[in-house]
Amino acid sequence: MAHFPELVFSGVQPTGNLHLGNYLGAIVKFVELQKTHSCIYCVVDLHAITLPQKPDELKASIREVTAAFIAAGIDPKKHIVFNQSQVAEHAELAWVFNCVARMGWLNRMTQFKEKAGKDRENASVGLYAYPTLMAADIHVYRATHVPVGEDQKQHLELARDIAQKFNNDFAESIAARGHGEAYFPLPEPLIQGPATRVMSLRDGSKKMSKSDPSDYSRLNLSDDADTIAQKVRKAKTDPEPLPSEVAGLAKRPEAENLVGIFAALNQQTKQDVLGTFGGGNFSAFKSALVDLAVAKLGPVGSEMKRLSKDDAYIDSVLADGAARARVLAAQTMRDVKDILGFVR
């Protein structure tokens, strides 16, 4: 396999409340990776419109996700932060990938089935083609590493399949144009740590999600200390004391979830957490979790609030990031057009 320079890419949809799952599953890792890699972080507004959006709310959400990135510690000067719709090459490459990906591949995507629900005939074509756009997001920068939560794993496998098929189908043309044996790298998913799948606080069998009708199911990044405390105290548990070993969390999804959240917030393993709280009851553990969550999320929430008063600054970050992203994406599209045989 050809060697590609390491580059990190990831995206977050601007669709309502950002929650602890987005934070621990993705954003915390985005922040960490800045130390070792060049990173591109994208607010994927083209993905957001695969489901109906109100224009004013969409605009506010784009700014909110951007503010969350910055508040969490992403440096938009050293790295690239922008919204997807400002770089037309994402949609352009997605079209090419619609012609590379096979119907059978997309038919297997579980997220489409979940989001489309029973009324599949009435789902947008965009919702169906969502994963080819996601592949384009990554490949338009020829990114090599993609930090995401567990729920995006299947989409990343598809992105690898698309890269592989493109590299195979056009192998001769790729080599003839001096790109060696592969034009697109096969991106590596980075799905690690104790919180790759944060579950609902009300039901340990359901993923924490923006679309859950109960606000008590999630901690939002914008929640204040009192709200965080209330939600953690009300979080579902079971009557047993906490186990002393990780194996004791099996079949106790709510306990496992809260221990995983604690571990991720405190940068520990689940076993470390059980070393401290094993054998104890949930109320002492929950009090410690409230303090920890308030200490970690509180500053992010207040910085987001401060940034929410400065749309001009947020918009300038996005415009600057988009300008830099466009340069990289445009080069890829020129190469892709040559590889495909388009006249340009």
The distance of closest approach from Cβ of residue 296 to ligand TYM in the complex, given in angstroms and rounded to an integer, is 16
The residue sitting closest to ligand TYM, measured at its beta carbon, is 25
Task: Pinpoint the alpha helices (H) of the chain.
Answer: 20-22, 28-33, 45-48, 55-72, 89-98, 103-107, 110-116, 125-139, 153-169, 171-176, 225-234, 253-265, 270-277, 282-307, 311-340
Do residues 178 and 224 touch, judged by C-beta distance below 8 A? no
CB-based contact 286:233 (threshold 8 Å): yes
Cβ atoms of residues 148 and 29 within 8 Å: no
Residue type, 189: P
Phi and psi at 100, nearest 5°, equal -100, -45
Segment contacting ligand TYM (CB under 6 A): 144-152, 237-245, 291-299, 336-344? Answer: 144-152
29, 207, 231, 286: which is the annotated catalytic residue?
Answer: 207
Residue 222 binds ligand TYM (CB under 6 A): no
**Site for ligand TYM contains 152 (CB under 6 A):** yes
Return the sign of the alpha-carbon dihedral for residues 192, 194, 200, 204. Answer: positive
Whole-angstrom Cα distance, residue 219 to residue 238? 20
- Active-site annotation holder among 59, 115, 165, 236: 115
Task: Check residue 149 for interaction with ligand TYM (CB under 6 A).
Answer: yes
Q: Which of 153, 210, 236, 337 is catalytic?
A: 210
46 interacts with ligand TYM by CB under 6 A: no
Binding residue for ligand TYM, selected from 26, 28, 96, 336, defined by CB under 6 A: 26
- Looking at the DSSP assignment, which residues form a beta bridge with residue 39? 8
Catalytic annotation present for 153: no
* Footprint of ligand TYM on 183-202 (CB under 6 A): 196-198
d(CA 70, CA 56): 22
In b/e form, how buried is each residue of 265-283, taking b as 16+ CB within 10 angstroms?
bbebbbeebbeebbeeebe
Compare residues 25 and 321 and give the one whose CB is closer to ligand TYM: 25
Residue 286 makes contact with ligand TYM by CB under 6 A: no
Based on the shown chain and the rule CB under 6 A, indicate whether residue 74 belongs to the binding site for ligand TYM. no
Per CB under 6 A, the segment of 102-110, 150-158, 160-168, 252-260 that binds ligand TYM is 150-158
Between the two ends of the chain, the Cα-to-Cα distance in Å is 29
Based on the residue annotation, tell me whether 54 is a catalytic residue of this protein: no
| Listed ranges 6-14, 100-108, 231-239, 264-272: which one lies at the site for ligand TYM (CB under 6 A) | 6-14
Q: Which residues are tagged catalytic?
A: 115, 207, 210
List contacts with ligand TYM (CB under 6 A).
9-13, 21-22, 25-26, 44, 47, 134, 137-138, 146, 148-149, 151-152, 155, 196-198, 207-208
